[in-house]
Structures are given as C-alpha cells and as structure tokens.
Chain A
Amino acid sequence: MSNSGRVIRPRFDPVARPFHEITDEQFDAAFERPLQDTIAELQDAYRSGVKRMVVVVPTTAMSGGNRYAHTAAAAEAIRVLVKSAARQWGASGVTVNAIAVDPASVLDDVHVAGPVSIAPRALGSADPRALIEFLCSEAAGDVTGQTFNVDGGQLM
C-alpha cells in the first residue's frame, strides 16, 4: 500500500433501535458523531497531503435496515460525503472512494435489519483488503467518488 493512502473506518452504532423510540442522545451518538468524526478524519488526511482515501461503510447505507435507520442514516451520509469530497478534491489529485461491506461485520443483529437483497449472496467470503490496497495505490488515480460493494455479492 502506498504511504499516501488512508483508510477511514467510522464507528457505527451496532444496536437495533425502533425509530420511534430513539432519544436525542442516541441519535446524536449514532448519526452526528460518526459523520463528524469522518469529516475530521478526511480533513486531517487532506491537510496531511494524503492522496488516496478510502472510507468503509456497511451496505446498510444503501439498503436501509429495519430498526437501523439511525445507523443507515450515518452510513449513507458518509457514503455521499465521499462523493462530495471526491468532486471537490479531485483537482488536487486526491481520490476518495467508499467500500461497502457486509452488515454482519458492523451490526449486532443483521436478521432484524433484514436482507440487503432479494437474492442470497453469491460468494462465501468477502475480504476488502486487496481492493483497499488497489484504491490506495498510484494505479487507482483515475478512480474516485465510487462505492465498491465487498459483501460476497449480496447487494448488486
């Protein structure tokens, strides 16, 4: 991996919560904190001269999740923030991409959240490390603002 690459892994709320019962404190912790922390990490990376940024979110960002609206809101906000950053920093040679991973690696109860697809997953394994290495390399200089699902082919 290039020294100029940085991987950002926001901390998402893994706990299932009915939306109509969420308190201000819970929503602040689940939505505002991960987003603000990610903004701060992106800012630090940009100011430090990092040219390749990769942000890891669960596919729940795109699929939504039963009793995980708070987590999905944060994840999707961060996924689209990646696009804004890619658009804004592209002229500086900075690329920003997102990797969307299996919700099982983020959420406590994926069965409550519900399926992310109408079909079963295609592959048994889903290791994002090789893709992260590519996205942080010089060779990925023309790839930015994208979301890559590394979830074994659940969400297509």
Chain B
Amino acid sequence: MRLQHPAEVKGRPSRRIAALGVIALMASLAACSSGPKGIVINLYGGASGTGFDKIIADCNQAAGGRYTIAGNLLPSDADGQRDQFVRRLAAHDDGMDLLGMDVTWTAEFAEAGWIRELTGDEKAQAIKDTLQPPIDTATWKDKLYGIPRTTNVQLLWYRKSLVPTPPKTFDEMLTMAQQLKAQGKPYEIGLTAAQYEGYVVNINDLVTAYGGTLVNADSTAPTIDDKTVQALAMMRRLASSGVTSESLSNAQEPEVFADLQAGRSAFSLNWPYVLSAMREANPAIVDDLGFAPYPSVDGSTPKVTLGGMNYAISTYSKHPTEAFEAGMCMRDEKNALSAALDGGDVPALATVFDEPDFIKAYPMKDVMLTELKNAVPRPVSPVYQNISTIVSTTLSPPGKINPQKSADKLRSAIQAAIDGKGILP
C-alpha cells in the first residue's frame, strides 16, 4: 500500500513570511537613527497641538546649542497620559525631562516625589506675570511644583435669538429653559454628566457655587456638609426638570457640542473651544452664539473650576536646569500667544490677554479673565483620582441623586480613600 499524499506543501508560505519578517526587521534596524547630539530635553505632553513644531523650533534656536528639545507624543486623553507618566516615573525612568501635567495631578505626583520643587529664582520666574489660580494648581503644601502653562474655564454659551439676556443664576436658567420648552422652541441645557472627569468638573462648580468644598486644604478629611447637599440638590433639579437631553447621563463634550450644533440646545455649559469649532461645524449658528459667565447661585461672580496644564520637571531628569529653561521658553509671551492662536490653548500668562491678536481671536476674553481671576481648582489631594472616581460614580446618573444620602456616601467613601482603605467602583 503506497501512500498517496497530497503534493508537499514545501513550506512556501512560511518562507515568504520569513522573508517578509527579515525585511521588516532590517527596516526597523535602519530606522534606529542616531538622535540629536548633545543634551536632549525630552518633552512629554502637549507636543502635538497645531503649530507646536514652530514653538519647539523657536525654543531650540533660543537654546543656542546648549540643549535640544524633543517633543514626544502622548495619548490624547488625560487618563492615558497619566498612565504613561505614572508607570515610568514609578520606575525612575530618566528618559523624561519636561512633563505636561494636567492640573489635577500636582498633589499626587508631588507627594510621591516624582516631580521637582521649584525654589528661589526659578520659582520667581515661573510665577511672574501669571494669573494666581493657575499658580494654585501647581502648588501643593505651599510649595511650587510646576510652571503654569495653560488654563481653561467653562463658559455659558447660549443662542442669542432664543435668549435675549443671558441668565445669571441656575434658577434663572432653569426657568428660561422651561419657558422656551413651553413655547415649543429649542430649550435644552447642555452639560457634561457622563460618568467621567467632565462631570466632576460640573459638580465641583456647583459645590463651589454654594460656598463649599469637597476636602480640606491638606487633604486629610472630607468637608462634605449641607452646602454640598444643596449643590447636589441643584444638580438633581437640572437633570430632572425635563430641560436636559435624554442622554444627559452619557453626555461628554462631543455630545454637548453636537446638541448645540444641531440647534437642540438653548444653553450650553462648555469650554471656550466651542467658538472656533462651531465656525467649522455650523457657521450658521456662530453668529447666533453668545457667551456669558457661568451661572452662580446668587448672581455674584461665579467661581468656576480650572482646567489647564502645567510644566513639571521630573525628579529623575538628568538635566533639570536645562529642562526648566526649556519650559520657560515654551510658555513665554510670544509662544503662549502662538499656542493660543493656533492651538486654542488659553495661556496662564496674564499679559497675553492684552495682545490685539488674542483679543481678536477670543472675543470672550473679558468674560474668561473675570472667571479666571476667581477660579478654583478641583480638590487638591494626592488621592484626587480616587475622589474623582468616587464622585462621578456615586452621583451617576444625575437624575437619581438623593442629595442627603449621596452626600453621606461621598463623605464615607472619600474618607476611606484618604485612609487608603476600601475599593473604588
């Protein structure tokens, strides 16, 4: 019995694959080019905005050969960026020098010893001409840990044709929205209330509006009291008065923007980028778009939550002095203006706000400046990430908040987080 077996598969496919693999390997080795000579300052964060190459080139020139700045990309979402930083800093990686830090990370990174304190002359330079609230976001336990670079505050955007005078308080806004709804006109109030950081920003806005805070100054205990309860009650009212979108509990900035773009919203609580983005997305609405300060409880100056980014210097960087210089250059007046015009980055440097080009591109600059001067950071705490997760999950969905119960839950969960106990949802 002779075997009839099929024609031998002579391993041709695997040979082809092997050949491809070898070529790929050689290509990769060839791509391992030698980088720039001399000291390289590795910048991580904020290196991919429009026009950023210009800024880096400009600062490399100003460095005069003493160092070269290399811009490295990071994931586009803040959580992804924090992931990368934490992993490498905890491993004492010396490959990162200048870090673009979200304002909420300062306490955490400082407490862990991952970023350097700025003292003396460097500190004076870093805070010169800078707005105070951004400086506060770079401060922990009265020490400065970063160079404030950009900042951000939310505004009340509204449709001028539907809302002749913008509301000054939350109650006014609610009433106006309900009236518009009764008249059959677009009426929705848009705000971010999905279970994520953007929701915590809004909660923080409300809590500060009522004069409260979530944790005490050195983050040793939660400060949840009746002011918090009032704030939570207001959030519940906003969500269950029938004047918000059905998908409020899944709404992030793109959804809030889309509602405004499609003409469903009469009011929109969102960041300044709305203006330039709407110019591209729906030019017809741009002319009808008005902006006003964020509402408050009693009509006084609103105290809104700060966003933004600071430059910090890694503890494990081998060239801290050069990194500091690089950071200062990249956020100096000329470059801050450039970033504001090209990339929509609101500067922390107060002097930029007076530049004519800036005023032209940011017609809402006065409103922003007023808000910025009175803005507050989110709870400053080394366990901020835990607090944020706790707040956003406990208060989700916004329509089902039970103000007293939720406040109690928040208090015990935040205390547990501070003590390092309990698990996060």
**Are A and B interaction partners?**
no
Interface residues of B (CB under 8 A from A): none
Interface residues of A (CB under 8 A from B): none
